[in-house]
Amino acid sequence: MEVAPAIGFLKAYVKSMRLYYAFVTGIVGWLGISYYQFIASEDYYNPMSHFVHTIQQPTPLVKKIVIIIILFLAWGTNQIFNDYLGLDEDRVNAPERPMVTGELNAKSALLMSVSLLFITFLVTWFYLEPVAIIPLLIGIGLNVVYEYAKGHGIWGNLVFGIMISMCGLYGYWAAGPTDTYFTKSTISALILIVVTNGLMTYYTYFKDVDGDKLAGKNTIVVKYGLEKNRYIAIIVSFLPSVIFLIGYFILHAIEIELNHIFVILGLLTVFLQVWTGYLYYRNPKGELTYYSLVTNIRACTCAQTAIVALFNPELGMILFILTYVFVGFLFNMNTNVKA
């Protein structure tokens, strides 16, 4: 491939990755790493569950960086498969996306993503922890399933949420050796990830309603119409908060004591989530629906950084600020509503 065409291909590929979404997979994976570091710390002792670490050991910095890079690129790498499988609806919803216009050659893009995934498998198997291949495979499989599940109401949201939760599991399992693959807190965090990300993708269906309808994708927004979904958008914005409160205070499913940083970030997250619901109530259709995406993504990703603050308050606060700033920065680099 000559230099100029190669550069053009890479530009179109990166554009198709929609990097403002990279924080969705990246922060969830970082959450998994943070939890592993929490239970691997030498002075770790959980007064609520009396759980102490066994063979966990702090992850070397280089390995952390490798895992984080893999997870931040995960969204974009897999987005190429979504764009290919969703070409029918994208011709209506996003007619100027590179793969729709032909700017990005579909076969070359798929080959690139497959190559990157193959490299990820090799790095995971030989440099990180082989067991992390399991959530990696499940995530890739669910990415394909999602394009079909999307047409069956809430199933699409559940599949999407579970798919993203695999990034958290990958981050946790890839960070180092362990013999405690699941705890009550792990499962609770995964459930919160599923809910917040399933909710995030629900809001994205508002802007895609016309194309989804023509392509036969019976999403919740298509099924019940924009008018009913305006009210659903408000109601479900409280769902993550309600589930957390029930899980923590009634079911005692999260075996970690709350700290002040988590409470502050949690309250800010609740505001972002409710504000997202209000934006889609106010503008369920039109150009402003597209621009509401940035608040929607911030609400989802900042929720994950708040959970990080349970295990590492300082890191959670830093990630909250960086996530809020850079999601907006990257989103504003691509303001074409048709792409």
pLDDT tens string 280-335:
999 999 989 999 999 999 999 999 999 999 999 999 999 999 999 999 999 998 77
| Burial (CB count <10 Å: 0-12, 13-18, 19+), residue 126 | exposed
Average pLDDT over residues 251-264: 92
27 pLDDT exceeds 90?
yes
In a domain, 140, yes or no: yes
Amino acid at 219: T
Dihedral-angle region of residue 216 (phi above 0 means left; psi in -120 to 50 means alpha; beta otherwise): left
Dihedral-angle region of residue 102 (phi above 0 means left; psi in -120 to 50 means alpha; beta otherwise): left
Q: Which two tokens stand for residue 171?
A: 């981050």
pTM across the whole model: 0.92
- Contact between 245 and 128 (Cβ < 8 Å): no
Domain count, the chain: 1
In a domain, 9, yes or no: no
Average pLDDT over residues 233-241: 97
In a domain, 7, yes or no: no
The DSSP secondary-structure symbol of 50 reads -
DSSP per-residue codes, 74-105: HHHHHHHHHHHHTHHHHHHH-TTSHHHHTSS-
Average pLDDT over residues 205-211: 92
Average pLDDT over residues 57-62: 91
In a domain, 8, yes or no: no
Torsion sign, CA atoms 198, 199, 200, 204: positive
- Contact between 131 and 166 (Cβ < 8 Å): no
Task: Report the interhelical angle of 184-204 vs 293-311 (nearest 10°).
Answer: 170
Which pLDDT does position 138 carry in this prediction? Answer: 97
Q: Which two tokens stand for residue 46?
A: 């959980």
Range of the domain at 244: 19-332
Amino acid at 226: L
Distance CA 215, CA 88 (A): 6
In a domain, 123, yes or no: yes
Distance CA 235, CA 30 (A): 29
Q: Beta partners for 218?
A: 152
Q: Outline where the chain has alpha helix (H).
A: 3-17, 22-40, 61-85, 87-93, 98-101, 106-126, 133-149, 154-174, 184-204, 209-214, 220-236, 239-245, 260-282, 287-291, 293-311, 313-332
In a domain, 305, yes or no: yes
In a domain, 250, yes or no: yes
Mean residue pLDDT of the chain comes to 91
185 pLDDT exceeds 90?
no
Which pLDDT does position 225 carry in this prediction? Answer: 95
Q: 86 pLDDT band (50/70/90 cuts)? A: confident
Which pLDDT does position 130 carry in this prediction? Answer: 97
41 pLDDT exceeds 90?
no
89 pLDDT exceeds 60?
yes
Q: 49 pLDDT band (50/70/90 cuts)? A: very low
Average pLDDT over residues 35-53: 64
* Backbone φ and ψ of 215, nearest 5°: -85, 0
Which pLDDT does position 56 carry in this prediction? Answer: 79
